[in-house]
Amino acid sequence: MLDPKLLRSDLNAVAESLQTKGYTLDCEAFLALEAQRKALQVAAESLQQERNAYSKSMGKLIGEAKAKGEDIEPLKAKGEQIKNDSAAADLALTEVQGQLDDLLQGLPNIPHSSVPAGKTEDDNIELRRWGTPRQFDFEIKDHVDLGDSFNGLDFDVAAKITGSRFSVMRGGLASLHRALTQFMLNTHIGEHGYEEVYVPYIVNRESLFGTGQLPKFEEDLFKLNDEREFYLIPTAEVPITNLYRNEIVDRLPIKYVSHTPCFRSEAGSYGRDTRGMIRQHQFEKVEMVQFVHPDESWDALESLVGHAEAILQKLELPYRSVILCGGDLGFSAAKTIDLEVWLPSQEKYREISSCSNFADFQARRMKARFRNAEGKPELLHTVNGSGLAVGRTLVAVIENYQQADGSIAIPAVLQPLMGGITEIR
């Protein structure tokens, strides 16, 4: 959530920045509500002062009236009227403040100055490439056909069990999927300094509000039919980041990594990537989350991107990194760098990791703070990214390591986690 003080002090600059994300801020609506809030706050404070003053003097006034034999009911009626007027003023202020809060909660984060202008993913800017796509001397198959050829990947039986956009893995592919997960966790913990954390796969509404999925993106979530308003997590970012909701931490940085399933309804993506594992309702990710000092969050983003890149490099998978333009930037992110892995069957790079700096946007919604050098609470910054999306990494390995006879070679770094086998047939 944006700082209300920033809107009050520099509304036009905020509106101009949000245009980069394709968002039009209704400045007139904000100014009108802000004017109402100021007037109602002055009135409410004035009535509260009058109420306090009258309460202090009421006993004396009643005593004097009784001594004179005067009727004290008018004095009581006046006190009651002031009390009612004060309560009405507080209620009016609360209602307008609620409207302001609703407006603020719907505002996306301000993009960083380095975020390029643009409307769609076609306007994203490539930063660098690593690796050279392999040249095949045989007909390339996609991961669906390869997995089907040795009964390792089954979408039909998953559709019978649940529905479309689910999969069943068997044998070597299931083992490869597990080995990739373990390899990612081991690397981030052993080489990149993350602490592993196990988190719930079901979260409450407050948690999703904290990270910015609610209230705006509820249609993208799987909500449980439960009066407690529980949701399946769309990413481990949600439960991990909310570890410090309403907390004040005494040390930074804090770096967590977690492996979880993720559940997304894919609302609005009908017809996109319906074949295979690229876009599913259930998939798995290894997620990195950092809680950092505000002065260090941009360096933290670069280091986190490097941690995700290290996984791709160890797997020897060609990829490129791109900076997302304003129109493709997420609601809560100030800046996002995507990693896109090469898929031979599509002859293009596809997203496999999204790494973002949210600055204090999520922390303000969650009231996540740290103690600064003066010992005073201050909003921390949050940074996170996939390290990596396991299913998409599996797809990339299957396709990039396919062999002429239809078998899949196992990347060298994964062979110890696969019991020493060198290929899947």
pLDDT per residue over 208-253, tens digit each?
Answer: 999 999 998 999 999 999 889 999 999 999 999 999 999 999 999 9
**CA proximity to 265, closest of 384, 350, 163, 197:** 163
B/e letters for 352-361, b = 16+ CB within 10 Å, e = fewer, are bbbbbbbbbb
- Torsion, Cα 302 303 305 310, to 10 degrees, reads 140
Is residue 64 very low, low, confident or very high in pLDDT (cuts 50, 70, 90)? confident
Across 260-288, average pLDDT: 87
- Which listed residue (51, 165, 264, 365) is catalytic? 264
The span from the CA of 375 to the CA of 370, in Å, is 9
The answer to whether residue 6 scores a pLDDT higher than 70 is yes
To the nearest whole number, what is the mean pLDDT of the chain? 95
Q: Are 18 and 109 in contact (CB under 8 A)?
A: no
266 annotated among ligand-binding-site residues = yes
Among 33-37, 130-134, 238-242, 266-270, whose mean pLDDT is lowest? 266-270
Is residue 69 very low, low, confident or very high in pLDDT (cuts 50, 70, 90)? confident
Q: What is the pLDDT of residue 268?
A: 63
Q: What is the pLDDT of residue 270?
A: 60
One-letter amino acid of 235: T
> pLDDT by residue (tens digit) across 306-326?
999 999 999 999 999 999 999
Residues 6+ apart with CB under 8 A from 391: 177, 277, 280, 283, 284
> pLDDT by residue (tens digit) across 357-381?
999 999 999 999 999 999 999 999 9
356 annotated among ligand-binding-site residues = no
B/e letters for 163-178, b = 16+ CB within 10 Å, e = fewer, are eebbbbbeebbebbbe
The answer to whether residue 271 scores a pLDDT higher than 80 is no
303 annotated among ligand-binding-site residues = no
Q: What is the pLDDT of residue 292?
A: 98
The answer to whether residue 411 scores a pLDDT higher than 90 is yes
* Cα angle: 253, vertex 256, 257; to 5 degrees: 150
Q: What is the pLDDT of residue 252?
A: 97
The answer to whether residue 74 scores a pLDDT higher than 90 is no
Q: What is the pLDDT of residue 226?
A: 86
Q: Catalytic site residue 55? A: no
- Which listed residue (364, 365, 369, 392) is catalytic? 392
- Which listed residue (170, 245, 279, 320) is catalytic? 279
Q: What is the pLDDT of residue 160?
A: 97
The span from the CA of 409 to the CA of 415, in Å, is 10
> pLDDT by residue (tens digit) across 165-191?
999 999 999 999 999 999 999 999 999
- Which listed residue (316, 351, 378, 423) is catalytic? 351
Domain positions in the chain? 26-106, 121-424
The answer to whether residue 267 scores a pLDDT higher than 90 is no
151 annotated among ligand-binding-site residues = no
Q: Catalytic site residue 354? A: yes
Q: Are 287 and 181 in contact (CB under 8 A)?
A: no
> pLDDT by residue (tens digit) across 118-165?
999 999 999 999 999 999 999 999 999 999 998 999 999 999 999 999
> What's the CATH class of domain 26-106?
mainly alpha
Strands 381-389 and 254-263: unpaired
Across 255-278, average pLDDT: 85
B/e letters for 197-234, b = 16+ CB within 10 Å, e = fewer, are bebeeebebebbbbbbbbeebeeebeeeeeeeebbbbb
Q: What is the pLDDT of residue 61?
A: 78
347 annotated among ligand-binding-site residues = no
The answer to whether residue 73 scores a pLDDT higher than 80 is no
Across 23-30, average pLDDT: 96
- Which listed residue (354, 356, 369, 399) is catalytic? 354
Tokens 């981030």, residue located: 188
Fold of the domain spanning 121-424: BirA Bifunctional Protein; domain 2 (3.30.930)
pTM for this predicted structure: 0.92
Query: How many CB atoms sit inside 10 A of residue 2's CB?
Result: 19
